[in-house]
Structure 1
Amino acid sequence: MNYWLIKSEPSDYSIEDLERDRATIWDGVRNYQARNFLREMQVSDIAFFYHSNVKPPAIVGLAQVIENQLADPTQFDPNSRYFDAKSTPEAPRWQTVKVEFMEKFSEPISLSQLKTMFTPEEFPVVKKGNRLSVMPVHPEVAQRLLSK
């Protein structure tokens, strides 16, 4: 099992939305490095759900990958802000996963707390200017977060 961090602005999709929906496709990722991480995700992997672009930004809960290697359907929808005219169903450029709600933390782990717990080398989310929306989490970092 691997661990990941997935970011979302709560105004777009929050941990409360995932709790209500129970599961969702993690669509709309349009960064190649983040897309490549999505391609690496396996069923049963755990994702730390991070609320970004809020005060304070924080890890707010957990999700589990329940399907992987999915074509992101928004790339084919001309009405979607994530439409990609160069992508086709025969050769999709953007893959994603489906995640299922696991839990919402009673106490979010804020970015400022994360900065006191980890170096940028240990956990890149604490690196100034890191805007990557999907990233791996080293198992030792994951265990420290889960024991908090």
Structure 2
Amino acid sequence: MNYFIVKSEPFKYSWQQFLKDKQTFWDGVRNYQARNNLQAMKAGDLVLFYHSNEGKEVVGIAKVVKEHYQDPTTTDERWVVVDLAPVETLKKPITLETIKADSLLQNIALVRQGRLSVMPLAREEFDRIVQLANE
């Protein structure tokens, strides 16, 4: 299993809207590195949902329910989407400030490459964020 973080500005697409929708395709990615991360996602992989700009916090866990396919919002074949479904809302949102302060999370892409919208995580990093949310 692989682990990832996806970022969304809450005013564009929030965790609350995702819960209402029950499933969505993750579109709008126009960065090659983020696209490659979408292409690496496999059905069943777990994904942390991060509110960017407003809040700057991990708020939930989703899972990949359909692997990459052509982004239906563009005719440009370079861009893909995956389908995600929510799994659970974190008991406590984990802020970027908390992540940056945690010695086990110093090297995650969210800290090193803050503008990237889709990022891989090591299992230990994913587990640590979930552990922080449950404390």
For normalisation by structure 1, the TM-score amounts to 0.84
1:137 partnered with 2:121: yes
What residue identity is the alignment partner of 2:92? E
What residue identity is the alignment partner of 1:63? A
Counterpart residue number, 1:79: none
Q: Which one of the candidate residues 80, 86, 96 is aligned to 2:81?
A: 96
Distance 1:18 1:9 in 2: 12
Unmatched tracts of structure 1, length 5 or more: 77-86
Q: Which one of the candidate residues 89, 96, 109 is aligned to 1:111?
A: 96
What residue identity is the alignment partner of 2:119? M
Counterpart residue number, 1:81: none
Distance 1:43 1:28 in 2: 20
For residue 106 of structure 1, report the CA deviation from its aligned partner: 2.7
For residue 95 of structure 1, report the CA deviation from its aligned partner: 1.1
- Counterpart secondary structure, 2:73: helix
Distance 2:101 2:85 in 1: 29
Contact 2:90-2:130 within 8 A present in 1 as well: no
For residue 105 of structure 1, report the CA deviation from its aligned partner: 1.5
For normalisation by structure 2, the TM-score amounts to 0.92
Distance 1:130 1:106 in 2: 24
For residue 70 of structure 1, report the CA deviation from its aligned partner: 1.3
What residue identity is the alignment partner of 1:64? K
Quick one: percent identity of the two aligned structures? 42
Residues 20-69 of structure 1 show CA distances to partners (whole Å, capped at 9, x for unaligned) of 00000001111111001100000000000000011x30000011000012
Distance 2:109 2:35 in 1: 17
Residues 85-126 of structure 1 show CA distances to partners (whole Å, capped at 9, x for unaligned) of xx2xxxx1111100001111231000000011121x2x1212
Superposition map of 1:11-90 within 5 A? 11-54=11-54, 56-76=55-75, 87=76
Root-mean-square deviation over aligned CA pairs: 1.1
Higher helix share: 2
What residue identity is the alignment partner of 2:6? I
Paired residues in the alignment total 130
